């Protein structure tokens, strides 16, 4: 393992716990020396001071994984490894690299006879140590060499490891990128639900804990709902308040959500909930401007009048509804990328790998898995009958919450865009006939007719 930061160190120790002999290297000597003392007694874990020392001790074909920041550090590691490795060796990038970088590296190293594999790893520190969700792609031959190791360390659901070969080329990193896009969207939706319940309906942190904890026992059960419940109870160690109330409302991002949106635009796949989640992080960052604007546009402050229990149920329904919509958008993007980018992404396996270990694991995944098992070529989850039942059952609550958010000036952009996506996707007729007329009017862009085949243009009369 090259790179012994939080993820690299924990992933490596996890491998050692499963009986593999491992060696770790980091540019930072302190991290290397801390590695061996963190190992479980009886496991074989070595920290080495040079890459050369590491490479010379590995059995061939060498299996070398890196977990370093995306971008130049990955290229630097590859360049320093090249004089040390030989044909047939396998280099794995387990970080959040952009898939186009991974494609470039696959081709570059193929020319030198080295297998390069882009592999998404999800689950944060705890996941890496005890069972992450692992998303490898690319070279099948290389995968067969590392498969036993990956299956041993991955999270297990019903005894099945949360790892599978997820397609050609840079598919592993592509799937992880979209995983992160969905992650951004769900986090935004949960934050909007919190705002509606807290600012809108006046729930305290203790009440919020109870609501999220109860939700986590039902059909919203998921990693993100679970940690959200816990967040409301965390005390601040500097003031008598809860920590959540002391955290500045400005979000950062490392870019994977934005990349998801950028590539969806290129593919022409609509993923507005994910786009909105990216935009909302950007809007949150404009704190100074928001403070200025709040003085110019004072907000209505009255609490939402719906009885509390009823409103909590409606917010539950809205969150479930919109969460399904953002999975549907991300999975539609993966379906399209599998075809248009020739990644050949096996959709049933993607959903299966996300069932455990990763940040977006949820009790909803088995329903999605059934949908893709029944129809691996499903272009959108919304076309599945079981998913349709869920969406229909939660539609009324979603509309009630959307209306309340608008009436009470509480921003719920991801929720509203999920509902708009749904209403658009299920509309047999859209007003786009008019838009096509406008395009043809000013730009002779042509249009199609509903009653005849062909392409038409009209000399529109200007009054
Ligand atoms: C995971 C996570 C992780 C990811 C951040 C996104 O699956 O464990 O997706 O890999 O990098 O959660 O980080 P930002 O919110 O900083 O973009």
Tens place of pLDDT per residue across the chain (463 aa): 999 999 999 999 999 999 999 999 999 999 998 999 999 999 999 999 999 999 999 999 999 999 999 999 999 999 999 999 999 999 999 999 999 999 999 999 999 999 999 999 999 999 999 999 999 999 899 999 999 999 999 999 999 999 999 999 999 999 999 999 999 999 999 999 999 999 999 999 999 999 999 999 999 999 999 999 999 999 999 999 999 999 999 999 999 999 999 999 999 999 999 999 999 999 999 999 999 999 999 987 789 999 999 999 999 999 999 999 999 999 999 999 999 999 999 999 999 999 999 999 999 999 999 999 999 999 999 999 999 999 999 999 999 999 999 999 999 999 999 999 999 999 999 999 999 999 999 999 999 999 999 999 999 998 8
Q: Which of 67, 134, 173, 254 to mutate to test the pocket of ligand 1 (most atoms within 8 A of CB)?
A: 254
Angstrom distance (rounded) from CA 120 to CA 166? 10
Over the Cα atoms of the chain, what is R_g? 25
List the residue whose alpha carbon is closest to atom 7 of ligand 1. 122
What's the pLDDT at 412?
Answer: 98
What's the pLDDT at 301?
Answer: 75
Enumerate the β-bridge partners of residue 119: 136
For ligand 1, the distance from its centroid to the CA atom of residue 117, given in whole angstroms, is 20
Angstrom distance (rounded) from CA 37 to CA 41? 9
Which atom of ligand 1 sits closest to the CA of residue 255?
17
Q: Name the catalytic one among 176, 192, 217, 309.
A: 176
Task: Tell me the pLDDT tens digit for each residue of 320-376.
Answer: 999 999 999 999 999 999 999 999 999 999 999 999 999 999 999 999 999 999 999
Binding-site residues, ligand 1, Cβ < 6 A: 96, 122-124, 180, 183, 252-254, 256, 358-359
Q: Report strand pairing: 156-157 vs 160-161.
A: antiparallel
Q: Report strand pairing: 133-136 vs 115-122.
A: antiparallel
For ligand 1, the distance from its centroid to the CA atom of residue 255, given in whole angstroms, is 9
List the residue whose alpha carbon is closest to atom 14 of ligand 1. 253
176 is a catalytic site residue? yes
Angstrom distance (rounded) from CA 379 to CA 381? 7
Angstrom distance (rounded) from CA 36 to CA 13? 9
What's the pLDDT at 299?
Answer: 84
Which atom of ligand 1 sits closest to the CA of residue 251?
15
For ligand 1, the distance from its centroid to the CA atom of residue 92, given in whole angstroms, is 19
For ligand 1, the distance from its centroid to the CA atom of residue 96, given in whole angstroms, is 8
For ligand 1, the distance from its centroid to the CA atom of residue 180, given in whole angstroms, is 6
For ligand 1, the distance from its centroid to the CA atom of residue 357, given in whole angstroms, is 13
Q: Which of 69, 121, 124 to mutate to test the pocket of ligand 1 (most atoms within 8 A of CB)?
A: 124
Which atom of ligand 1 sits closest to the CA of residue 133?
7
| Token pair listed for 408 | 């009470």
Angstrom distance (rounded) from CA 88 to CA 61? 6
List the residue whose alpha carbon is closest to atom 11 of ligand 1. 96
Which of helix, strand or coil describes residue 46? Answer: strand
List the residue whose alpha carbon is closest to atom 15 of ligand 1. 253
308 is a catalytic site residue? no
Structural domains of the chain, ranges and CATH numbers in brackets: 6-165 (3.40.50.720), 178-425 (1.10.1040.10)
Phi, psi of 319 (to 5 degrees): -65, -40
List the residue whose alpha carbon is closest to atom 10 of ligand 1. 122
Q: Name the catalytic one among 168, 183, 192, 258.
A: 183
**Which burial class, exposed, middle or buried, applies to 20 when counting CB atoms under 10 A from its CB (0-12, 13-18, 19+)?**
middle
- The predicted model scores a pTM of 0.97
List the residue whose alpha carbon is closest to atom 1 of ligand 1. 122
| Token pair listed for 17 | 């716990």
Angstrom distance (rounded) from CA 58 to CA 64? 9
For ligand 1, the distance from its centroid to the CA atom of residue 218, given in whole angstroms, is 26
């Amino acid at each position: 393992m090259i790179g012994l930061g939080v993820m690299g160190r924990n992933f490596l120790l996890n491998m050692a716990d499963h009986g593999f002999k491992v060696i770790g290297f980091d540019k930072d000597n302190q991290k290397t020396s801390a590695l061996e003392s963190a190992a479980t007694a009886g496991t074989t874990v070595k920290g080495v001071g040079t890459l050369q020392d590491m490479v010379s001790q590995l059995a061939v074909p060498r299996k070398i994984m890196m977990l370093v920041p995306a971008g130049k550090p990955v290229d630097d590691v590859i360049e320093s490894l090249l004089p040390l490795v030989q044909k047939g060796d396998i280099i794995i990038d387990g970080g959040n690299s952009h898939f186009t970088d991974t494609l470039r590296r696959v081709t570059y190293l193929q020319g030198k006879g080295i297998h390069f594999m882009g592999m998404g790893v999800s689950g944060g520190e705890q996941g890496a140590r005890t069972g992450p969700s692992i998303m490898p792609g690319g070279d099948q031959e290389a995968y067969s060499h590392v498969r036993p190791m990956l299956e041993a360390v991955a999270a297990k659901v019903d005894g099945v490891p949360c790892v599978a070969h997820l397609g050609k080329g840079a598919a592993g990193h592509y799937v992880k990128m979209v995983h992160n896009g969905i992650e951004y969207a769900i986090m935004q939706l949960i934050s909007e639900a919190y705002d509606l319940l807290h600012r809108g309906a006046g729930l305290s942190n203790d009440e919020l804990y109870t609501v999220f904890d109860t939700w986590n026992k039902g059909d919203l059960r998921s990693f993100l709902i679970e940690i959200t419940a816990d967040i409301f109870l965390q005390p601040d160690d500097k003031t008598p308040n809860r920590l959540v109330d002391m955290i500045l409302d400005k979000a950062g991002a490392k870019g994977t959500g934005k990349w998801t949106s950028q590539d969806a635009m290129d593919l022409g796949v609509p993923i507005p909930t994910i786009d909105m989640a990216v935009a909302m992080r950007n809007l949150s960052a404009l704190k100074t401007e928001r403070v200025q604007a709040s003085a110019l546009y004072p907000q209505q402050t009255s609490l939402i009048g719906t009885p509390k229990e009823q409103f909590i149920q409606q917010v539950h329904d809205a969150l479930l509804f919109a969460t399904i919509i953002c999975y549907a958008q991300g999975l539609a993007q993966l379906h399209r990328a599998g075809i248009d980018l020739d990644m050949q992404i096996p959709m049933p396996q993607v959903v299966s790998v996300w069932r455990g270990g990763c940040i977006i694991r949820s009790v909803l995944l088995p329903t999605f898995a059934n949908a893709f098992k029944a129809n691996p070529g499903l272009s959108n989850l919304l076309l599945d009958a079981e998913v349709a039942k869920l969406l229909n059952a939660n539609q009324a609550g979603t509309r009630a919450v959307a209306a309340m958010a608008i009436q009470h000036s509480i921003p719920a952009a991801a929720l509203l865009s999920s509902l708009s996506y749904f209403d658009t996707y299920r509309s047999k007729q859209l007003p786009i006939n008019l838009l096509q007329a406008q395009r043809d009017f000013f730009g002779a862009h042509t249009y199609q007719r509903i009653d005849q085949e062909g392409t038409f243009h009209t000399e529109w009369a200007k009054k």
